[in-house]
Structure 1
Amino acid sequence: MTRWQADALLISVALIWGFAFVPQAWGMEHLGPFAFTGLRFALGALVVAPLAWLEWRQPKVHAVATAGGWAAMAGLGSLIFLGAALQQVGLLTTSATNAGFLTALYVPMVPVLGWLFFGRKPHWVVWPAALACVVGTWLLAGHQGSDTAGATMATTFVVGDLWVLGSSLPWALHVALVGWVSARWNVGYVLALVQFIVCSVLALVVSLVIEPWSWAAIQGAGWAILYTGAVSVGIGYTGQVVAQRHTHASDAALIMSSETVFAALFGALLMGDRLTPSGWLGCGLILVAIVVSQWLPLRQGGNGHGASEAEASHP
């Protein structure tokens, strides 16, 4: 896969994920957040399982059958569980638009984590970009908006926004590490499958302990589970794993930040989300900070053009 093909694949992933915030929110009308997360990742595992089996039959892939390889893949699955579960809990009380933008706060974190894990010092622009994201978050989550009927909405920073904010760290860790793990053990589909299984099992165990279950609830959330499981997880997350073997983590984060734009677009079209000027200002500030924090180093030929994490560990 060429670099341009990988970038095009990541744009498609961002579109899939941006739309997914809408069915994720609708799914919460029937199921608890952990049950919904567990079921959709179980479906995603079924979608990718045939590809993982074909990949596993290749002799070069068997190098992953070590304690370190399985632990690394299971660890990435645990990060997905934390990110998806926190995000899903947040969607109980926040809007799809807010969740889309707040989740994207992981993007400026990726170069910082690359510095910690791979010794790649972040560009100076990361620090003002991080501050801009904090200010934008306050403007976005504390805005005064209106619903489709024109009724005034709450002006406070709702608890759902805090849950979604918390999800940004495991997402950042996942983006920073998934490309390295995939290249280090020469797997893509097997890695995706293990991630999905680990995430699903963890979510379902928690759900069985703290959430009520019923077949009627599962049926009510059926189409939301179908899209977010087969498309968002099975295609989206697998596409991310495959693409990040051929592009840098910081570049991937930049491209996938367009997820926030898609989330706002679909939230407005399908869920009636509305933002006042201060809310739009917050969205714009976050998006600009995300883009600039990734684009400027590339423009100046700095860290953005360095070796990828996988390349850095394999001279």
Structure 2
Amino acid sequence: MKQKVKNNGMLMLTALIWGSAFVAQSAGMAYVGPFTFNSLRCLLGALVLLPVIWILGRKEKSVQGPHTEEKKGDRKTLWIGGICCGIALAVGSSLQQVGLLYTSAGKAGFLTALYILVVPLLGVFVGKRAGIKIWAGVGLALVGIYFLCVKEGFSIVQGDLLMIVSAFVFAIHILVIDYFAPKVDGVKMSCIQFLVCGVLCAVPMVIWERPAAGAVLDAYVPLLYAGVLSCGLAYTMQVVAQKDAEPTVASLILSLESVFAALTSWFILHEKRTPRELFGCALVFLAIILAQLPSKNLRAEKSLKGEAASEINKETEQFETP
């Protein structure tokens, strides 16, 4: 029970860091451009994960032996996965960062969280069926987006549109991670993806933004928060906590990222919300929760597994009884 509470607490802290990072991203662009901010934060994230990888590697060798080596096939898969994730992350985070120039941090948090709905929808194209709760969530989210983003004349502002597109890209990013993560070391792949994303974002940074050293130094607080805490620490906590956490509970807790984004933007940036926008936020959040509730089939399957495990334990006890 203590371990469960600890894991849920770590996931809650992860959601808080990710949600409040929207404030750091918005504040950082008062000094540097979106590609500069993305490039530097991702490179910082990769740098922070290097000592984590070293520490975890030493622990693994102490358990499995000093002569443990990574296979060439695993190393190749690791780099392919890291590069693919890095490309998707570069596109998604760039759309998100540019969108923050035209929309509020709180609204960006809710719209970005739509990736939780997009992931199962994209799964339909690879043969995975979406249940009725997913489709209900999509419908509820569309209504929420209407109240949150659509102004008079049925127009969506540029920043909101970029956030919605970024949610689709982040959904692809999650599916890529889902494919490669079981095959490789998650922390190492994360480090590679941050490195790739940082390098890719550095290209438009050098071509179009050409940041001055003084401007980068002025943005050091948002950069450190988004790079060290959001990229490095939060991801590591997620990996550690989800090893022993119930997936549904974990995803529900992490979806609080959108709530924390709205709260921190209100508290720190003093962003105001109209009643119409608050109603839209509530609908989007309800859609996210609805999409992650386990289906009856899943609950029945878990119940059967629990009963089977119980029967096995009873039989084992009978054999062990003298």
TM-score normalised by length of structure 2: 0.81
Number of the residue aligned with 2:308: none
Contact kept? 1:297, 1:304, Cα under 8 Å: no
Number of the residue aligned with 2:209: 211
Partners of 1:8 and 1:115 in 2: how far apart? 33
- Superposed counterparts of 1:52-71, under 5 Å: 52-56=53-57, 58=61, 62-63=70-71, 65-71=74-80
Q: 1:302 to 1:2 in 2, by over 3 A?
A: farther
The question of 1:94 aligning with 2:93 is answered no
Which structure has the bigger radius of gyration? 2
Partners of 1:251 and 1:61 in 2: how far apart? 35
Q: 1:70 to 1:6 in 2, by over 3 A?
A: farther
Q: 1:253 to 1:46 in 2, by over 3 A?
A: same
Number of the residue aligned with 1:149: none
- Superposed counterparts of 1:169-180, under 5 Å: 169-180=168-179
Q: 1:182 to 1:217 in 2, by over 3 A?
A: same
Q: Which has the higher helix share?
A: 2
Partners of 2:76 and 2:249 in 1: how far apart? 30
Partners of 1:219 and 1:22 in 2: how far apart? 18
Partners of 1:76 and 1:288 in 2: how far apart? 29
The question of 1:28 aligning with 2:29 is answered yes
Greater mean alpha carbon deviation, residues 259-268 or residues 80-89: 80-89
Deviations 1:244-264 (A, max 9, x none): 555576654433211010011
TM-score normalised by length of structure 1: 0.83
Contact kept? 2:110, 2:258, Cα under 8 Å: yes
Contact kept? 2:248, 2:294, Cα under 8 Å: no
Partners of 2:268 and 2:69 in 1: how far apart? 43
SS in structure 1 at match of 2:295 = helix
Q: 1:41 to 1:305 in 2, by over 3 A?
A: farther
Q: Which runs of 5+ in 2 are unaligned?
A: 62-66, 306-322
Greater mean alpha carbon deviation, residues 234-243 or residues 125-134: 234-243
Contact kept? 1:192, 1:241, Cα under 8 Å: no
Shift of residue 239 of structure 1?
2.8
Number of the residue aligned with 2:138: 130
Letter of the 1:106 counterpart = Y
Deviations 1:13-47 (A, max 9, x none): 11101111111101111111011000011111111
Q: 1:161 to 1:2 in 2, by over 3 A?
A: same
Number of the residue aligned with 2:17: 16
Q: 1:113 to 1:40 in 2, by over 3 A?
A: same
Deviations 1:258-291 (A, max 9, x none): 1010011011111121112111110010000110
SS in structure 1 at match of 2:70 = helix
Partners of 2:165 and 2:232 in 1: how far apart? 24
Contact kept? 1:123, 1:302, Cα under 8 Å: no
> Of the candidates 80, 83, 105, which is equivalent to residue 74 of structure 1?
83
SS in structure 1 at match of 2:293 = helix
Letter of the 1:239 counterpart = M
Deviations 1:55-92 (A, max 9, x none): 45646671364433310122112222122111111001
Greater mean alpha carbon deviation, residues 73-82 or residues 160-169: 73-82
Partners of 1:74 and 1:248 in 2: how far apart? 29
The question of 1:83 aligning with 2:84 is answered no
Q: 1:142 to 1:67 in 2, by over 3 A?
A: same
Q: 1:228 to 1:30 in 2, by over 3 A?
A: same
Contact kept? 1:123, 1:303, Cα under 8 Å: no
Shift of residue 225 of structure 1?
0.4
Number of the residue aligned with 1:103: 112
Contact kept? 2:120, 2:130, Cα under 8 Å: yes
Q: 1:299 to 1:287 in 2, by over 3 A?
A: farther
User: What is the alpha-carbon root mean square deviation over aligned residues?
Assistant: 3.0
